[in-house]
Amino acid sequence: MRASAFVYPWDVNGDPEAARRIAALGVRQVTLAAAYHSTRALTPRHPRHRIVTAEHAAVLYPTDARWEGHEIRPYAAGDWAPGDAYGEAAQALADAGLDVHTWVVLAHNSRLGAERPDTSVVNAYGDRYPWAPCIAQPATRAYLVELAAEAAVRPGARGTELESLGWYGLQHLHAHDKTGGVALGDAGTYLMGLCFCPYCREGYGEQGLDADELAAGVRDALEPLWRGAPDDGGWAGVEKLLGEATAAATRAWRDERARTLQEEAVRAVRAAAPEGFQVLLHADPVTYHVGANVGVDPAHILSVADGVVVPCTGGTDLLPPFTEQRHQKSVIAANFTVVSGMGGNPTTLAANATRARDLGATQLRLYHAGLASDEDLSLVGEALARL
C-alpha cells in the first residue's frame, strides 16, 4: 500500500536532516501543508526550535494577483512560515525522492471569523462560531473555491488533499476548551451545528421552514440534553428531536450547499492543475457529519474527486461505505494517527493497515511525521517494512 506522511513546512525548513529522515520511514509520498489553520505544534527534532505557534489560519506561500478585488482573501503567515515556506520544504522533500502532494485546509479559519463575524456559522442561540465560515454564503464560497485552486496546485505538486471542504460545527478544539461538560452525542451535535445566518435562514425558507420557528424548535429539542438526558444518536435521534420532515428539510439545505461547493472546488483545482493531478477529500461517509473530515455521500464524492482520505485511528468502520462505491482508479486512503501522545498507536499500525487493505483501502496516510517522537517513527518504519 502506498503510504504518505503528513508534514508541516516548519518541520523541514531549517532542518537539513528532516527530508532524509522522512524518506527513510519507507513512505513514497508526503502530504505537505500549503494552507493551514492556527495551531501550536511540537517539533521534537528541529535544530532551532521545539514549539511552533501558528497564530492564525494562513497560506504558507506567496499569493498571486488573483485576489485583487476579492471581498475575502487569504492571510499571509507570520514568522512561523515566512516567504515561500511551502515551496522551500517541497523542494527539499522532492530532492529526497518523495512525491509531494499539497494539504489544504479550507472552511476552518478563526481569524476570518474574528475580523468578519458576518461570515461565521451562527447557532440557534445566536452564538457565532468564529472558526467555522458558513459555506452557504456566496462570498465565502467564492473565497474557498479560489483558495482551493491556488493552494492545491503549487509548483511540482502531484496532487492535493482538501480538508474541511464542507460544514464545520461545534466540535472544535479551542484554547483552554471547556465545552465537554455535556455529552451532546451525534444528534445534539448536529443541532448545535445548524447555522442561522441570514443566508441559511433564507435557505431554510426555500425548504418550506420558518427560520424563527426552526430555531425555537432546535432550542426546545436541545433543552433535555443540557439537563443530562441521553442522546438517542444517529439520524433517527435528530428526527426524534426535530420531527422527521423538519429534520429532512434542514439536511436537504445543508447537503446541497456542501455538495455543490465540493463540486465547484474540485472543478477549479482540476482547471488549474496539470494532467494527472490527483484530488482527494478528507471525508466521512455520513453527509450530516461536520468538521475536518466533512460529511459526504460516498457514491457522489467518488464521482467528483479521485478519492478520499478516511479517518481510521478509532477503527476502520468508515471505510466500507467508500470502498463499496469505489471505481477502478479511486483512491481510498486510510488515515491513522501514529503519534502515541495524541491517541495513536504505532505498534498496531501494521495490523490496522492490513485490516484497512482487506476492507478495500488502497493507500495509507500517517499523521504526523513532524509531531511524532523518535520511538513512534521507529515503530512506523518497522510497520511499513512489514507491509
Evaluate if pTM is beyond 0.85: yes
Q: How confident is the model at residue 230 (pLDDT cuts 50, 70, 90)?
A: confident
189 assigned to some structural domain: no
Place of cell 461517509: 285
Which CATH number goes with the domain that contains 302? Answer: 3.20.20.80
Residue 246, in any domain of the structure? no
Which residues have CB under 8 Å from 269's CB, separation 6+? 148, 149, 152, 153, 160, 162, 277, 279
| Contact by Cβ (8 Å): 231, 185 | yes
d(CA 81, CA 325): 39
Looking at the DSSP bridge assignments, the partners of residue 333 are 309, 363
Residue 286 phi, psi dihedral angles, 5° rounding: -115, 115
Any idea which of 152-156, 184-188, 360-364 has the lowest mean pLDDT?
184-188
The answer to whether residue 73 sits within a structural domain is yes
Residue 361 lies in a domain: yes
- What is the structure's pLDDT at 366? 98
Q: Cα–Cα distance between 368 and 163 in angstroms, integer?
A: 15
User: Considering the domain boundaries, does residue 91 fall inside one?
Assistant: yes
Q: Please write the tens of the pLDDT for every residue from 231-285.
A: 878 999 999 999 999 999 999 999 999 999 999 999 999 999 999 999 999 999 9
Predicted confidence (pLDDT) at residue 176 exceeds the cutoff of 70: no
- pLDDT of 179: 53
Number of domains in the chain: 1
Residue 159 placed within a domain: yes
Residue 153 lies in domain: 2-180+277-386
Nearest one of 38, 39, 36, 48 to 11, comparing CA atoms: 48
Domain-located, residue 285 = yes
106: in domain = yes
Residue 180 has pLDDT above 70, yes or no: no
- 374 pLDDT more than 90: yes
Average confidence score pLDDT of the chain = 95
